[in-house]
Amino acid sequence: MKAGIWKWTNAKTKKVFICESDDMFKAMDDLHTQLENGHHPMPELQADFNEHGMESFQMRILEYLESPRFRELAKREWLGLEAAHNLYRFATNGV
């Protein structure tokens, strides 16, 4: 089990999804399974995956974390480095 931060970049749209987990490699596998099965909770990411396919996404490990308790803080720092309009976001209730 390895904690860390990684990102998926859609090479066609330039949109970015930054992820963090205590078990990064299991989470990567779970994300791929959700997308392949059409069940990812982020509609825009799922739609782009459906339209462009796995081959249009590039995965990059951003940081391994020695302590998983700092993962949310580290994720926020990486999010701050990306342009806000390029980030995939979870849907909100009409907001």
Share the mean pLDDT of the chain.
Answer: 84
| Predicted structure pTM score | 0.76
Radius of gyration of the chain (CA): 13
pLDDT tens by residue, 13-28: 999 998 888 898 999 9
pLDDT tens by residue, 45-56: 999 999 999 999
Angle, helix 24-36 to helix 43-52, in steps of 10 degrees: 70
pLDDT at residue 92 tops 50: no
Average pLDDT over residues 52-71: 87
Confidence band of 90 (pLDDT split at 50, 70, 90):
low
By CB atoms closer than 10 A (0-12, 13-18, 19+), residue 27 is middle
- Residue 68 is predicted with a pLDDT of 65
**Cα–Cα dist 33/25, whole Å:** 12
